[in-house]
Amino acid sequence: MNRSLDPQWLSPPGARGDEAVRGDVGTGVGASLPHESAHLHVAGSAPYVDDLPELAGTLHAALGLSPVAHGRLVAVDRDRIATMPGVVAVLVAADIPGPNDCGPVVHDDPILADGVVHYLGQPVFAVIAETRDQARRAAAQAKAALTIEPLAPILTPVEAHAAKSYVLAPMHLARGDARAAIAAAPHRLADTLEVGGQEQFYLEGQISYAVPREDRGMLVHCSTQHPSEMQHLVAKCLGLQSHHVQVECRRMGGGFGGKESQSALFACVAAIAARQLGRPVKLRLDRDDDFMITGRRHCFHYEYEVGYDDDGRILGAELTMVSRAGFSADLSGPVMTRAICHFDNAYWLPDVAIHGYSGRTNTQSNTAFRGFGGPQGAIAVENIIDSIARQLGKDPLDVRRVNFYGPSPRAGAPGERNVTPYGQVVDDNIVVELVAELEATSGYRARRQAIAEYNATSAVLKRGIALTPVKFGISFNLVHLNQAGALVHVYGDGSVLVNHGGTEMGQGLNTKVAQVVAHELGVDIASVRVTATDTQKVANTSATAASTGSDLNGKAAQDAARQIKARLVAFAAERHGVAADEVRFAADEVEIGAKKTVSFRELIVEAYMARVQLWSDGFYATPGLSWDRETMQGHPFYYFAYGAAVSEVVVDTLTGEWRLLAGHVLHDAGRSLNPAIDIGQIEGGFIQGMGWLTMEELVWHPNDGTPRAGLLLTHAPSTYKIPTANDCPPVFDVRLWKDGVGDDNVAETIHRSKATGEPPLLLPFSVFFAIRDAVSSAGDHRVDPPLSAPATSEAILRAVTSVQAARP
């Protein structure tokens, strides 16, 4: 029996990371507690926006979409639509009281098209009707109601680059002299790569419910990752001030970045209609319209050239990245910035030049997606290293290892191979030790040998294996966004209410924040409740994005709880005549000196009677950050999260079908606030990233001069495939790296924890390169497989055919 299929060998003792589950269940921090809404989720009783009871008089909105990818908007036949059954109003750009714009950075993103339509699926008008079905039926008349003079569209990033059509000015980052280093290198490699985009495919689609309030006020229930931005944009489009608008979000059914900026259009349309008609208006998209209107992960085109030595050490590299930004800027600038800042991944690049272009195309405006450009940047260098290894006949892991960043300054080697191309010192590097541990515990070397023996005797089925690392920077690149606020209330019965600026989208943010507050006050987690995110409670919040949710909001809530605790300590010490350091909170009790213990509730009652303030606001701003977007230099990340994964696959060279046989993950979560939630995030991120790189293919109708040009053909689950439970490997071992690592290796985050939202999405690079390894074996590893992502079965088969044809 081939040992690479032996589950006991693939799954060494302790691989599930049970040793990482630690902590005091009572205080919460470090304990593997369930998600705070888990009992509601499984019972089907967790309310989302569409579950809220509709107020009397509620109307429903639907959007009329452009049937062409590019053209001049000549006329909208509103009368044709207005006569449809149940229609109350038809709104166009001219009906918007304020600016017709919902762009998050650049003001180039109209709420409703005006003058020119920029993509097939762009909203041109809104139908408001008595029922949702009536609104949708009327909106479906868009093709007949719109008069549009077609213009030639640009659909791909390559076309945009050739036409010098960009939504933003190009970005350039350089260190040293890349061209000279490449020219002087013993070996050179030049190639291109294509990596596709990815639909967020959140379970709950885009939805907003706007309710008019007194004195021009507006309440908007919105499924959004950024309530404050929705508040600002709704107020602006209504010609009001922010204090007129309240945005509330209790939970989302997934976001993944797709509800960071792009929930704005729907919040604005619902609010405009509610304002004009004086009635509540709900706008809920169906899945097809969601696909057709909203953007997704940017696809990237790469052109690169590198020089390297006999060991595979990169001496010089030049990379050009062109993204499909879509018709407007949206968040394409920050996405490209992060892509550029993650091209190095875990590797020292001494001489490097990186060029980033955000191509303007007549497609949906692409936006944030888990990883926010980081995965698109890092996969380029991983592809380069994989190709270098094949050219030299070496194990890719050995080539990766010689390129790793050097020891951190704290380890005794200041300034040696540990400065990123953008000038930040890598002072928390653990990638060498982490990869070494995973290499050993996964049996990587023995499995590679076993795979080689298997492939030598198997003509059709080929196996492959890869181990890839991750170094991911945590913080917003825009420094001012790295702030958060929170409110903590302690009631007379000892119960605690928390509100903060982050949003819950299933990732467990509220659970972690509740654990932090419970820990600070020494109470059981059951005593703490976290309420809906509300712009009238915590103002000027940042998006729940960039993997900063727990770092920022956990620290803000901790600050608020500590202020309350400090007041209680001072009160108890004075009343009972003890020193402040003799007052300790734990397990729902308060020890006051050596002889007295009272319940937390008793102390709260005493403090209330003594008029001690039992609520507080908290605030946190991440220290030490800097970024110059002109020079692309600074210290944009508070810390780096690290991880590594080993994947083993089998590929059918006759059909291109493949299976993931085993996945082993070792990830750095610092001192995990909740190991169960973190492991769940790592597992989910791995499978989602695997879907991006192997099966989730976005296809637009080509620019053939027909009206269908620019039509997104994969706009529903029938044509766009995401991973299912069946795609999970039979062996899937996820462990946390040294839970409770030393303070020297972890920044002063909330309880020395690290983010697990975005970094795990890069772990399934190992799946893609394992597939590449299997395809390469079809040519005896003598030909570099021409495989781009997603590596669908069709793409794999084409690569196998190419490798076999080119085999010497």
Q: Is 305 helix (H, G, I), strand (E, B) or coil?
A: strand
Q: Which long-range contacts (CB under 8 A, 24 or more apart) does 537-541 make?
A: 537/487, 537/499, 538/485, 538/486, 538/487, 538/499, 538/500, 538/501, 539/228, 539/485, 540/228, 540/485, 541/226, 541/227, 541/228, 541/484, 541/485, 541/501, 541/502
If one counts every other C-beta atom within 10 angstroms of the C-beta of residue 446, the result is: 12
Six-digit token string for 402: 């010689």
**Structural contact between residues 212 and 279, judged by C-beta atoms closer than 8 angstroms:** yes
Beta strands in 3-159 (DSSP E): 59-65, 71-76, 87-91, 116-117, 123-129, 146-150
Residue located via tokens 């909740």: 674
Q: How far is CA 624 from the centre of its chain?
A: 23
Among 350, 218, 364, 396, which Cα is nearest to 291's? 364
If one counts every other C-beta atom within 10 angstroms of the C-beta of residue 45, the result is: 10
The DSSP annotation for 540-555 comes to SPPPS-TT-HHHHHHH
Q: Is 329 helix (H, G, I), strand (E, B) or coil?
A: coil
Residue 172 host element (H or E): strand 171-175
Cβ neighbors of 355 (< 8 A, separation 6 or more) are: 170, 171, 172, 318, 319, 320, 321
Q: How far is CA 292 from the centre of its chain?
A: 21
Q: What Cα–Cα distance (Å) separates residue 334 from each residue in 35, 285, 352, 371, 484?
A: 31, 27, 20, 11, 20
**Structural contact between residues 195 and 298, judged by C-beta atoms closer than 8 angstroms:** no
Q: What crossing angle do the helices spanning 765-777 and 374-392 adopt, rounded to 10°?
A: 30
Residue located via tokens 């020395």: 752
Separation CA 466–CA 461 (nearest Å): 17
Separation CA 473–CA 456 (nearest Å): 41
Separation CA 712–CA 728 (nearest Å): 28
Cβ neighbors of 695 (< 8 A, separation 6 or more) are: 721, 722, 723, 727, 790, 792
> What angle is formed at CA 791 by the lines to CA 786 and CA 794, rounded to 5 degrees?
85
Beta strands in 582-691 (DSSP E): 583-586, 589-592, 596-599, 615-621, 626-628, 633-635, 639-652, 658-667
Among 416, 336, 402, 349, which Cα is nearest to 157's? 336
As a dihedral over the C-alpha atoms of residue 391, residue 397, residue 398, residue 402, rounded to 10 degrees, the angle is: 100
* Measured distance between the N- and C-terminal CA atoms of the chain, rounded to whole angstroms: 32
Whether 657 sits among the annotated catalytic residues: the reply is no
Separation CA 737–CA 470 (nearest Å): 13
Six-digit token string for 154: 């640009």
The catalytically annotated residue of 606, 648, 758, 794 is 758
Q: What DSSP character marks residue 725?
A: G
Q: Is 294 helix (H, G, I), strand (E, B) or coil?
A: coil
- Residue 342 identity (one-letter amino acid): H
If one counts every other C-beta atom within 10 angstroms of the C-beta of residue 792, the result is: 18
Cis peptide, bond prior to residue 280, ω within 30 of zero: no
Six-digit token string for 14: 């302790």
Separation CA 772–CA 765 (nearest Å): 11
Q: Which sequence positions are flagged as catalytic?
A: 758
